[in-house]
Structure 1
């Protein structure tokens, strides 16, 4: 005798969020690769431009571990888009400063990111987009703002290798 799988009583929210997030990340990666950037590089550039920030601060904003952050900043430096400099606020700290060329690339990459987001929402009416974004913002600032403490950490979904 084969056991019957339990029938879900609500839509599979995990699948819906994971799938849309994965597809959006792949589209973003493809779009940014056209100008030689990764999503992480874009994130570092646009947040380093906003104000003087250390590598650790930028890593926290971009949800990157220390090693990933170092590799990302190394790539930005190699491309001439950013550089590590002493902080003007704390001489012991080093910040990530965006170069003039990096500022141009950050502006272009932001337009690309905006376009990918607009395309993702294009199938919704204006009212549906506004409602969707309002509800998602409420979820990420309320019910889904903080991960649960878990003795077995949950890994984030990985993108498939190209």
Structure 2
């Protein structure tokens, strides 16, 4: 007897959100690559321009781990778009300061990001666009506002190679 897949009782919301998010990210990556940026670089530049922020604060805002953040800031420094400096608020802390060139690039990259978002939304009627944004905001600020705690993964001991 052949096993049958269970029938779906609800629409596959995970697929719909994942697919649209994936395609939007690829479009964003392609558009920003034209000016030599990644979405993470754009995110760091914009958030660093908003306020004096440390690498840790910027990593949290951009949902980046420490290693990814270091690599991103290194790339921004190499491109002359940002630099690590002592904080004016806490001399023990170091902040990411955006250079003048970085501020110009951030303005340009924000126009690109806005354009990608605009193109996605303009593919919908005005009423559908308004409904989508209203409903997505309800989810983000409500039921899907807080991630669930991931269960701890059991770690297996390494096998000896001897």
If the length of structure 2 is used for normalisation, what is the TM-score?
Answer: 0.91
Q: 1:26: Cα distance to partner? A: 0.4
Equivalences for residues 1-162 of structure 1 within 5 A? 1-152=1-152
Look at both structures and tell me which one has the larger radius of gyration over its CA atoms.
2
Structure 1: stretches of 5+ with no match in the other structure: 154-162
CA distance in 2, matches of 1:112, 1:46: 13
Structure 2: stretches of 5+ with no match in the other structure: 154-162
Q: 1:150: Cα distance to partner? A: 2.4
Q: More relative contact order in 1 or in 2 (CA 8 Å, sep 6+)? A: 1
RMSD of aligned alpha carbons: 1.0
Q: 1:71: Cα distance to partner? A: 0.4
3-state SS of the aligned residue for 1:44? helix
3-state SS of the aligned residue for 2:123? coil
**Residues 53-109 of structure 1: CA deviation (Å, up to 9, x unaligned):** 000000000000001000000000000000011111111111000000000000000
CA distance in 1, matches of 2:123, 2:14: 22
CA distance in 2, matches of 1:51, 1:149: 30
- After the TM superposition, which segments of 4 or more aligned residues of structure 1 sit over 2 Å from their partners? none
3-state SS of the aligned residue for 2:145? coil
CA distance in 1, matches of 2:72, 2:149: 28
Give the equivalent residue in structure 2 for 1:160.
Answer: none
